[in-house]
Structure 1
Amino acid sequence: MVHEVVQKVRELGPKFAAAAAETERLGRLSDQSVALIREAGVMRMLQPEDFGGYAAHPADFAQAVLEVAKNCGASGWVCGVGGVHPWEMALCDSRVQKEVWGEDPTTWIASPYMAGGVAVPTEGGYIMSGNWQFSSGTDHCQWIFLGAMVGDENGQPLMPPRVMHVILPRKDYTIVEDSWNVVGLQGTGSKDIVVKDAFIPSYRTIDANEVAEGEVAAERAGRSETLYRLPFWAMFPLGITSAVIGICEGLLAEHYKYQSERTMANGVKVKDDPYTLHAISEAAAEIAASRAHLLDGINRAYETAASGEVVTFEQRALIRRNQVRAAWRAVMAADQIFARSGGNALRTDNPMQRSWRDAHAGLNHAIHVTGGAYHAAALTEMGVDPAPPLRILI
């Protein structure tokens, strides 16, 4: 059965596509794009039911992001990143949940999670300063998750590092305008964030390791729902990779429309050229496989948690390996499609070139780096416990 939000996104698909160029021109989501996301309800799919959310199966969330990204890569990306934040907020102290959603349960939350700041303990909490890049959709958010290292009294990070996710209201951080000048995913408005000596109450923090494990944070928050017992590094990459694969699906759809009546320079119609048709179908199969591979991973994790078992590191490593591979497979297939689209695909009024740039930009995210994910997965399959540096992001 198709989730109601997925169905709504499909219905709104042409409107998302029509707003995509304006979103890119602005360098942030346009008002129309924001309104469509809100109308569809994508950002509330992983929000707990006690605040009016859907608490949906994460595979349904992924499919909603895929559908948005098909029509507007930037909107899909912001949904994929920002849509996971309500999931983590459900694991936080109930006091901050009420602060964020008590008056307006539709409030959006930004990030990033990189440990760009140092939080120094003080009475009742921490004092934090720092700089962060890549806060996707941040113009439209009123709160933010930021990664931070706990520091000593001199402001130096403790060793070994202790990483937290801290939560700040909009008044406590600065968005750096004109800090998002890029060749792809321009419309995400993924601007820089600066924090200077902000006080963070202890209840607005959550230990990054507890969230990574999933089960620990859920128990502490009193959440028994299967959704909130999943590990962070299965959930956060899910939204981002869904956006990348969705962008590639959108490129493929535009390619089909464009090629159906196109005549190549040699005078042969594309629909009569077996070599091009072979390449298109091969690429289409790779993109379809990427979608299936990604959804299979999160479905397996969900089934494990639903059975009352803990998603082990070994399982997490394989999910991450397959998620990374799904992204790369889809983008490499998109390259094959774009290379066979002719010179007119390069024109700025052709949506294929935007999808091609957006897909490559999405592949540059840290969660799509192959090295550590592949290394750890291979060792795990051999029965070797990966060293701590290889366990990062898994």
Structure 2
Amino acid sequence: MPLLRANAAETERLGRLPEDNVTALRDAGFFALGAPRCVGGPEVDFRTWVDVVAELARGCGSSAWVATLLSMGSHWVGLLGDRARSDVWAADPHAAVCLNPNPSARSRAVEGGMVVSGRWRPMSGCNHAQWVMGGLPVQDEQGAVVDRKLVLVPMSQARIEETWNVAGMRGTGSNTVVVDDVFVPEHRILSMPRALAGDYAADHSDEPRYAISASSLVAVAQAAPALGLAAAALEHTLDVLGAGRAVGTSIYQNAIDSPSVQFNVADAARLIDTARMHADRAVRDMEQGVRERHPLDLDTRARIRMDVGTVMRSTQQAVGLLLDAGGSGGFDLGNPVQRIWRDLETVVRHQILSPDLSREIYGRALLGVEPQVSNLI
């Protein structure tokens, strides 16, 4: 974490992770947390995954986000068979896989597989990946979508277009990956419906982790950086306030004597605790599914999405309160809290982390309203 924190400003400036970060994260296995143990991966449990990513985010949100997304790529590759796993990890157990399941490519069926063309954006961590996994629709002769797939392609057969220019998570390098008429063999094609339903567990009877719905893992893992970001903001704010600072145009020569500062800090800490407790419940639900070796039902998966939405809204509000407590100096570009604020304000609007969409999904599940509004539940 000290390395990531020391390089955080440089990470933003580069728009990608510095090589020191990449080397440290890759060598420690943080780009492949979901890689199966049988191919040399760490295959960590979900609680360890969340804890590791949250700790990384205390140093640098962009680095933690990249580690999260690349590790999710390793989990999805793990759903495939031994041949695809060998393609990725036989020569390099630390090989990284960037992932975007959105069906934004096109394909045509050929003998032994598919020929794929398209653009996947955003593709976090693509600058540091050796493989890319992207989504595509499968259409019938009339053009109707009848299936969704994920295809696994070597980065050597793709190209990266520099399109990432945003206010937050600037260092993730979430650029666009382009493929043109690339052949993908059948053994490197994944069924999205099977993955989302947890059906791939039948193919890996000795690896119960794959019984979990991939969408639940995606949501919880992507929320994990918010926990570390908010914790880092609280830590920094307490350090600044503890060093002594007056509240301008007021009687308070030391901000910690101000009730409004006390209230904001207390509420921020409470919200961070709330976020952690909801993340912990979501992890417990997933771990129970693994222990019992069956996919989670819709109500549980919808509650996990609601827990994720609560994590995001709580951490977002907490950092806002900490900025209030710290005053306008928190927006100095040398202050890490403003970077944390920008990072959180960006990721809270991610489609699978959206608190508002999570509320809608959970409400419909509780009330039995169909159809659901997303297939990523």
TM-score under structure 1 length normalisation: 0.91
Secondary structure of 2:22's partner? helix
**Letter matched to residue 79 of structure 2:** L
Q: Corresponding residue for 2:217?
A: 235
The answer to whether the aligner puts 1:337 opposite 2:322 as a matched pair is: yes
Q: Corresponding residue for 2:178?
A: 194
Matches of 1:310 and 1:393 in 2, distance apart? 14
The answer to whether the Cα contact below 8 Å between 1:120 and 1:151 also exists between their aligned partners in 2 is no
Matches of 1:28 and 1:238 in 2, distance apart? 23
Secondary structure of 2:85's partner? helix
The answer to whether the Cα contact below 8 Å between 1:79 and 1:239 also exists between their aligned partners in 2 is no
Matches of 1:299 and 1:287 in 2, distance apart? 18
Q: Corresponding residue for 2:57?
A: 69
Select which of 83, 87, 101 maps to 1:99. 87
The answer to whether the Cα contact below 8 Å between 1:65 and 1:246 also exists between their aligned partners in 2 is yes
The answer to whether the aligner puts 1:348 opposite 2:330 as a matched pair is: no
Q: Corresponding residue for 2:307?
A: 322
Q: Describe the superposition over 1:120-165 as per-residue Cα deviations: whole angstroms up to 9, x where unpaired.
A: 1111111111112111111010101101111356xx8x42441111
1:318–1:105 distance in 2 versus 1, CA, 3 Å: same
Matches of 1:20 and 1:249 in 2, distance apart? 16
Give the deviation of 1:391 after TM superposition: 4.1
Gaps of 5+ in 1: 1-12
Q: Corresponding residue for 2:112?
A: 124
**Letter matched to residue 324 of structure 2:** A
The answer to whether the Cα contact below 8 Å between 1:108 and 1:141 also exists between their aligned partners in 2 is yes
Q: Corresponding residue for 1:8?
A: none
Q: Corresponding residue for 1:9?
A: none
Q: Corresponding residue for 2:200?
A: 217
Secondary structure of 2:333's partner? coil
Q: Describe the superposition over 1:18-57 as per-residue Cα deviations: whole angstroms up to 9, x where unpaired.
A: 0111111100001111122124332233211111122221
Matches of 1:245 and 1:188 in 2, distance apart? 17
Q: Describe the superposition over 1:326-348 as per-residue Cα deviations: whole angstroms up to 9, x where unpaired.
A: 11111111111112222221111
Secondary structure of 2:100's partner? coil
Matches of 1:371 and 1:392 in 2, distance apart? 16
Secondary structure of 1:367's partner? coil
**Letter matched to residue 6 of structure 2:** A
Matches of 1:147 and 1:211 in 2, distance apart? 12
Secondary structure of 2:183's partner? strand
Matches of 1:141 and 1:259 in 2, distance apart? 41
Secondary structure of 2:144's partner? coil
Select which of 240, 257, 274 maps to 2:259. 274
The answer to whether the Cα contact below 8 Å between 2:261 and 2:325 also exists between their aligned partners in 1 is yes
The answer to whether the Cα contact below 8 Å between 1:176 and 1:191 also exists between their aligned partners in 2 is yes
Give the deviation of 1:201 after TM superposition: 1.0
Matches of 1:133 and 1:309 in 2, distance apart? 33
The answer to whether the Cα contact below 8 Å between 2:98 and 2:123 also exists between their aligned partners in 1 is yes
Cα RMSD over matched residues? 1.6
The answer to whether the aligner puts 1:254 opposite 2:247 as a matched pair is: no
Worse-superposed segment, 303-312 or 250-259: 303-312
Secondary structure of 1:111's partner? strand
Give the deviation of 1:77 after TM superposition: 0.7
Matches of 2:262 and 2:83 in 1, distance apart? 57
Secondary structure of 1:113's partner? strand
Select which of 20, 23, 39 maps to 1:32. 20
**Letter matched to residue 98 of structure 1:** S
Aligned pairs for 1:156-171 (under 5 A) are 158-171=143-156
The answer to whether the Cα contact below 8 Å between 1:376 and 1:390 also exists between their aligned partners in 2 is yes
Matches of 1:223 and 1:43 in 2, distance apart? 25
Worse-superposed segment, 41-50 or 289-298: 41-50
Give the deviation of 1:375 after TM superposition: 2.3
Secondary structure of 2:50's partner? helix
Q: Describe the superposition over 1:323-377 as per-residue Cα deviations: whole angstroms up to 9, x where unpaired.
A: 1121111111111111222222111111111111111111121112244432232
The answer to whether the aligner puts 1:299 opposite 2:284 as a matched pair is: yes
The answer to whether the aligner puts 1:115 opposite 2:99 as a matched pair is: no
**Letter matched to residue 83 of structure 2:** R
Matches of 2:370 and 2:276 in 1, distance apart? 28
Worse-superposed segment, 143-152 or 35-44: 35-44
The answer to whether the Cα contact below 8 Å between 2:208 and 2:291 also exists between their aligned partners in 1 is yes
Worse-superposed segment, 363-372 or 159-168: 363-372
Matches of 1:107 and 1:122 in 2, distance apart? 28
Matches of 2:319 and 2:258 in 1, distance apart? 19
Matches of 1:144 and 1:223 in 2, distance apart? 26
Q: Corresponding residue for 2:188?
A: 204
Secondary structure of 1:36's partner? helix
The answer to whether the Cα contact below 8 Å between 1:117 and 1:129 also exists between their aligned partners in 2 is yes
The answer to whether the Cα contact below 8 Å between 1:176 and 1:193 also exists between their aligned partners in 2 is yes
Q: Corresponding residue for 2:166?
A: 182
Give the deviation of 1:182 after TM superposition: 0.8
